[in-house]
Amino acid sequence: MRIGQRIKITAESLVRDGVTYGDVTAIHGSGYVTVNTINPNTTDRHLARLGPTDYVTVPGKPPFVHIDGPRPNFGADRKGRKVESTKSPVESTQPPADSTPKDSMDSFIQTLKNAIAEAVDAKVAEKVKDIPSRATEVIVKVADLPPVKVEGTPHKLLKRVLKLIAASVSDKNVLLIGPAGSGKTYLAEQVAKVLQLQFAALSFSPGMSEAKLLGRIVPNIATGTESYVESPAVRAYRDGGVVLLDELDNGDPSVVTVLNAFLANGWMYLPSGERVERHPDTVVIGSMNTLGTGADKVYVGRNALDGATLDRFVVEMMDYDSDLEEALCPEWEIRSAVLDLRKKVADNKLRRIVGTRTLRMVRSLVLSVGDSLPHALKVATANWNDADRKLCGIA
């Protein structure tokens, strides 16, 4: 087994989705590997962790033109003349010996990123070096492993959350509590990217059913049979991934209670009756605007959560990330105006939200639409009443 090797996938949950092969991006020992999956009908690919019974090795590298691309000058010599190839179909997909594989750098980067994931699983995230906060490309360094470049500005809690996951605090269930627009979803996505795990987001609402979480049974009227359709959350739970339970305090309490087995038992039963084991690489991140005790003056539609559910998380309190906001809006005049508006809202104890989304909106209105800064602030507060606008100095 080697990095870049193409293997045939036998895992039932993936085969059912049309996945047939995968390219190995990391080797974890004891037969466990991470692969970039291949579906012959689509160019979409995602990472999956496989156990020794989930795949078989195959000779050569079975070709998928829609993934690998056609071989340059296939069937012709350097002058464009047609020649007969003496190579087998499998060999013909390989690049010439004197060229550099086009995906060599991508493979190298994937290998380094998966080394990070493996190191975190080995509980060495406490050795994660300080992550510089003001950068568009950041280097994440874990222990003695080579540094990995991660796209995007890191959230200030990225290192902290990685440590919690590495130590398996509360079974890798992390609850982020903070105001709207404070970067909770952004942080969860960054965790998934650093750990090289698939990402599944589930937004809770009062009308959400259990089927959105656990999947559903679909009847076939023509045949009189039924089939189970799994949800993205179940797939990440079974195969390893980061599951974001967004706006958890906005869900129906009876549906949220279904999460208890999902979070702490290490297994759950699906509507089909199948018992699914939680993958060791499954990370569950919940996000809320309240403390789970019910509605407040700003978040009036939030529900109280059962104590047994809250007890299954380790809680991280969040606020707006000033470094992230500076990276998203480097223009001081625009950023200062929005921060001043946020301060006036707090000073006057108004039931208004001036989050990072507001900052990005105002910046876009000024720089992309061409609005003046005062007009952009009026647009951003269009749903406010006149009294609140006047208190904040917006005419």
Q: Is pLDDT of 285 > 90?
A: yes
Whole-number pLDDT of residue 95:
42
Q: Is pLDDT of 27 > 60?
A: yes
Q: Is pLDDT of 1 > 90?
A: no
DSSP assignments along 324-341, one per residue: HHHHH---HHHHHHHHHH
Whole-number pLDDT of residue 131:
44
Which residue type is seen at 16?
Answer: R
In 3D space, the residue among 339, 353, 328, 342 whose CA is nearest the CA of residue 154 turns out to be 328
The percent of residues above 90 in pLDDT, for the chain, comes to 9
In tens, the pLDDT along 182-191 reads 788 888 988 8
Give the span between the Cα atoms of 364 and 375, in whole angstroms.
12
Region 371-380: what's the mean pLDDT? Answer: 91
Distance of CA 153 to the CA centre of its chain: 15
Give the span between the Cα atoms of 93 and 61, in whole angstroms.
8
Q: Which CATH number fits domain 1-69: 3.40.50, 2.40.230, 2.30.30, 1.20.120?
A: 2.30.30
In tens, the pLDDT along 199-219 reads 988 888 777 788 888 888 888
Q: Where are the domains of the chain?
A: 1-69, 164-317, 329-391
Domain 164-317, what fold?
Rossmann fold (3.40.50)
Helix (H, G, I), strand (E, B) or coil at 190: helix
Higher pLDDT, 244 or 120: 244
DSSP assignments along 50-80, one per residue: E-TTSEEE-SS----HHHH-PPTTTTB-TTS
| 5 and 18 Cβ atoms separated by less than 8 Å | no
Confidence of residue 137 (pLDDT cuts 50, 70, 90): low
Confidence of residue 377 (pLDDT cuts 50, 70, 90): very high
Give the span between the Cα atoms of 288 and 306, in whole angstroms.
14
Give the span between the Cα atoms of 282 and 241, in whole angstroms.
5
Nearby residues of 208 by Cβ (< 8 Å), 6 or more positions away = 251, 252, 255
Helix (H, G, I), strand (E, B) or coil at 148: strand
Give the span between the Cα atoms of 305 and 254, in whole angstroms.
9
Q: Is pLDDT of 15 > 80?
A: yes
Whole-number pLDDT of residue 132:
43
Structure tokens at 224: 């009189």
| 243 and 237 Cβ atoms separated by less than 8 Å | yes
Whole-number pLDDT of residue 292:
57
Q: Is pLDDT of 166 > 50?
A: yes
Region 349-375: what's the mean pLDDT? Answer: 88
**How high is the mean pLDDT of the chain?**
75
| 184 and 173 Cβ atoms separated by less than 8 Å | no
Q: Is pLDDT of 146 > 80?
A: no
Higher pLDDT, 136 or 195: 195
Whole-number pLDDT of residue 96:
43
Confidence of residue 31 (pLDDT cuts 50, 70, 90): confident
Nearby residues of 233 by Cβ (< 8 Å), 6 or more positions away = 200, 202, 213, 214, 243
Q: Is pLDDT of 134 > 90?
A: no
Whole-number pLDDT of residue 247:
84
Q: Is pLDDT of 142 > 60?
A: no
In tens, the pLDDT along 68-101 reads 776 443 333 333 444 343 333 433 334 444 444 4
Whole-number pLDDT of residue 361:
92
In tens, the pLDDT along 304-350 reads 676 677 788 888 888 887 877 888 888 888 999 999 998 888 888 88
**Which stretch, 155-159, 289-293, 365-369, has highest mean pLDDT?**
365-369
CB atoms within 10 A of CB 350: 18
Nearby residues of 272 by Cβ (< 8 Å), 6 or more positions away = 215, 217, 228
Give the span between the Cα atoms of 226 and 281, in whole angstroms.
31
Which residue type is seen at 86?
Answer: T
In tens, the pLDDT along 239-278 reads 889 999 888 887 777 777 778 777 877 888 888 888 888 8
